[in-house]
Amino acid sequence: MSTNHEASYLSEEEQQKLLEKYDPEAGTRKLTGLLGYIAFFGLLAFSLFQLYTAVFGVFTAQIQRTVHLGFALSLIFLLFPANRKKRQKGKLQVAWYDLILSILSIGVGAYWPLRFEELVMSVGRLGPLDFAVGITAILLVLEATRRTVGLPIMVIALLFMLYGLFGSYMPGFLSHRGLTLERMVQTMFFTTEGILGTPLAVSSTFIFLFLLFGAFLIRTGVGQYFNDLSIAIAGRSIGGPAKVAIFSSALQGTISGSSVANVVTSGAFTIPMMKNLGYKKEFAGAVEASASTGGQLMPPIMGAAAFLMVEFIGNGITYWDIAKAAAIPAILYFLGIWIMTHFEAKRLGLRGLTKEEMPSRKEVFGKIYLLIPIIAIILLLMSNITVTHAALYSIVISIIVGFINKDRGMKAVDIVHALVDGARTALAVAAATAAAGIIVGIVTKTGLGLKLANGLIDLAGGYLIPTLILTMIAALILGMGSPTTANYVITSTIAAPAMILLGVPDLSAHLFVFYFGIIADITPPVALAAFAAAGVSGGEPIKTGIESSKLAIAAFIIPYIFVLSPELLMINTTWGETVWVVLTAMTGMIAIGAGVIGHWMRDMHWLERITACIVGLLLIYPETISDITGLVMFGILLALQYVWKQDKGDGGTLQDKPHTDYPKVE
């Protein structure tokens, strides 16, 4: 290892510490003894319940959702400590009050199944026991949300509840009659408009199964194979390790719904490689952070919020419609990062991996069958079968592939552990969607959504662009302290209606808030994915966040484009028009990438950089005149780059100079 670029790969223990620091979902207790067995078999039972209902059909809405919630809450209080900084180990693994909360959670989960007929016949009238159980359920959800996904989303849910109770004291258009405490409890737990609403419904069906699918993929060895395949494809190119990080993270995003988890697992391998090659710490961390965050934008398996989008939009839209619409923006996002890392490598004169540093391509491509589950789920989602069955069949296929993979040699015990891992991953999602249901319930009961939508439009003067900017700011702020799922629920309930009122198609409006909710993970001042990447690289966190935002520039531009011109989402376009939109947009990303980095064939003057960015915007915007203008200007810029490079040699860069002192990547 070179002393100039010394870097080391993170051990599993170091990765876990980083995850616990930046990802609330990772801060679980390591239970042993009797409690360890209880937690293990509880998680296993959770997965088996979900599989049973997926195969034989879900129960009545209230029963399905409360059992799902009961499993999640009871396990959360066993596995997630009240204070993450003081995780208890050894004999006192679980505090006495956590045991009580876990038992109460079981009671809450069993309440609807045990008293279904009486509760239905009561027609909204609550007895003393009903009221006590409802209050308990609300408090348990709030505390479980705080433990799993952090304090901000719990505070937001609490503020919405206070608004529901004391709305008559609010000024102006925010004022409403106010809900009584009994009415609040009845809405939150005894209807399907609150905690048991649409977000939890999606968690208890689609989301759980896809998280389970991801757990099985990890057990088959697909996660490691993504790294090997990425090196085999991109390792030898200019700045190869950075491109490996992009390619690998895009693939990892299909099995990981967490930007931070993706950063730590992939980045533990790719960031040291980038540093060894000569990339600065902050840039190396930014490449991994931006690519890992984009994993949730990449079809066919996007973030959990994409499944919520199906239910929120309605109108017969399917998950495949959303995945198809998101394809071009996702390609442009990753292409933008790829291009900028390429130009940065050229600017610095960085090489790719040597032949000796590369894995055997024959061995790597000999295991291409490991991608069969990914291909299968794409084909299944494209077919007419339900999303639930698509996930089920894909799980079965991944198990078969796991048994075929001789390197891993999947056994029956691996299936059991995959079921446990999948359930563990689903705990935070269940808590977040339950809390999001509280917010949706208040918005529905008070009419706050339409009030805020109209208020947002008034604040923006009735113009679309200012409305989009305000919506973007709201989504970024919310995303700094809440998971993508909860962020999407809030912004789609409050801000998306404002865009729709101004004539924006439903899908464009919902994808707009979805994008900015995800990009919040790499947007300073609170950019958890970027901070986790800085923890791996040793770089400065805020600088890493700024670099991440630069690399992810496409994510700040493209949502505006597909709102103004939905052709980018393949809405009402022919295949010929789609191909043209893709080609011109990809050309535009080359120009923007060069402008942001400041290098193309040579270093660029600031005026050239601004011009290149303008050219890129013209080409990304899918309109005939802007495309023609952009292509002409692109040709002129390209010609000037080539001519001036010939006249001035290498333009002061290192790309044409011989290099003999490359550090070896270990």
Q: Which stretch of 43-57, 66-80, 482-496 has the lowest confidence by average pLDDT?
A: 482-496
3-class DSSP state for residue 126?
Answer: coil
Q: Which residue has the higher pLDDT, 321 or 482?
A: 321
Averaged confidence pLDDT in the chain: 85
Other Cβ atoms less than 10 A from the Cβ of 368: the count is 11
Fill in the DSSP letter of residue 540: -
Q: Is 477 exposed, middle or buried (0-12, 13-18, 19+ CB in 10 A)?
A: middle
SS (H, E, C) 69-121: HHHHHHHHHHHCCCCHHHCCCCCCCCCHHHHHHHHHHHHHHHHHHHCHHHHHH
pLDDT for res 480: 73
pLDDT tens digits for 423-435? 998 999 999 999 9
Q: Which of 63-72, 117-126, 585-594 has the lowest mean pLDDT?
A: 117-126
Distance between CA atoms of 231 and 240, rounded to whole angstroms?
A: 8
- Is the confidence at residue 455, as pLDDT, over 50? yes
Looking at per-residue confidence, does 601 or 163 come out higher? Answer: 163
Tell me the one-letter amino acid at 400: I
Q: What pTM was estimated for this model as a whole?
A: 0.85
- C-alpha distance from residue 467 to each of 453, 536, 559 (Å): 10, 38, 13
C-alpha span between 32 and 34 (Å, rounded):
7
Nearest to 287 by CA among 232, 332, 258, 250: 250
488/307 Cα distance (integer angstroms): 11
Residue 58 burial by Cβ neighbours in a 10 Å radius (0-12, 13-18, 19+): middle
Structure tokens at 71: 């499993």
pLDDT exceeds 70 at position 144: yes
Q: What is the pLDDT of residues 272-286, one digit of tens each?
A: 888 887 888 898 899
Lowest mean pLDDT among 83-92, 281-290, 635-644: 83-92
Looking at residue 586, what is its pLDDT?
92
Give residue 659's pLDDT band: very low, low, confident or very high (50, 70, 90). Answer: very low
Say how many residues make up the chain. 666
Residue 350 has pLDDT above 90, yes or no: no
Task: Enter the DSSP assignment of 599.
Answer: B
Q: Using 50, 70 and 90 to split pLDDT, how confident is the model at 17?
A: confident
DSSP state of 236: T
Query: Helix 128-149 and helix 181-189: axis angle, to 10°?
Result: 70
| Residues linked to residue 599 through DSSP beta bridges, in sequence order | 603
pLDDT over threshold 60, residue 204: yes
**What DSSP element (H or E) covers 591?**
helix 575-597
Continuous segment of H or E residues that includes residue 558: helix 553-564
1 band by pLDDT with thresholds 50, 70 and 90: very low
Helices then strands, counting H and E runs in the chain, come out as: 31, 0
Each residue's pLDDT tens digit, 275-314: 887 888 898 899 988 988 888 888 877 777 888 888 888 8
3-state SS record for 312-327: HHCCCCCHHHHHHHHH
Encode pLDDT of 108-133 as tens digits.
999 999 999 999 888 778 899 999 99
Residue 9, pLDDT above cutoff 80: no
Which of 568, 552, 560 minimizes the C-alpha distance to 627?
568
- Give me the residue label for tokens 């990765």: 15
| Burial class for 54, CB neighbours closer than 10 Å (0-12, 13-18, 19+) | buried
Residue 44 confidence (pLDDT): 97
* pLDDT tops 50 at residue 91: no
131 residue type, one letter = F
**For residue 300, cis peptide bond before it (omega within 30 degrees of 0):** yes
Work out the average pLDDT over 44-51.
97
Angle 659-661-663 from CA coordinates, rounded to 5°: 120
The residue with greater pLDDT, 245 or 78, is 78
Token pair recorded at residue 475: 């989504």
pLDDT for residue 657 is more than 50? no
The amino acid sitting at 525 is P
What is the token pair recorded at 570? Answer: 């393949």
- pLDDT tens track for 463-476: 999 999 998 988 88
- Among 513, 444, 502, which Cα is nearest to 472's? 513
How many Cβ atoms sit within 10 Å of the Cβ of residue 123?
6
Question: Bigger pLDDT: 586 or 491?
Answer: 586
- What pLDDT score does 188 carry? 94
- The 3-class secondary structure across 199-226, one letter per residue, is HHHHHHHHHHHHHHHHHHHHHHCHHHHH
- Tell me what pLDDT residue 454 has: 86
pLDDT, position 656: 39
- The mean pLDDT of 618-640, rounded to a whole number, is 91
Say if residues 115 and 129 touch (Cβ distance below 8 Å): no
- DSSP states of 401-432: HHHH-TTT---HHHHHHHHHHHHHHHHHHHHH
Instruction: Please tell me the predicted confidence (pLDDT) of residue 208.
Output: 93
> What percent of the chain clears pLDDT 90, i.e. is strictly above it?
35
d(CA 74, CA 106) in angstroms, rounded, equals 6
If pLDDT is split at 50, 70 and 90, which confidence band does 89 have? very low
DSSP 31-71: --HHHHHHHHHHHHHHHHHHHHHHHH----HHHHHHHHHHH
In angstroms, the CA 423 to CA 42 distance is: 9
DSSP conformation class of 355 = G
Measured between alpha carbons, how far is 371 from 438 in angstroms, rounded to an integer?
A: 39
% of the chain surpassing 70 pLDDT = 91
Q: Tell me the three state secondary structure of residue 135.
A: helix
Supply the angle between the helices 319-348 and 553-564 in degrees, to the nearest 10: 140
Instruction: Please indicate whether residue 42 or residue 241 has the higher confidence score (pLDDT).
Output: 42
Q: Check residues 396 and 13 and name the one with the higher pLDDT.
A: 396
State residue 640's pLDDT score: 87
**Tokens, residue 468:** 């989009």
Tell me the average pLDDT across 346-356.
Answer: 80
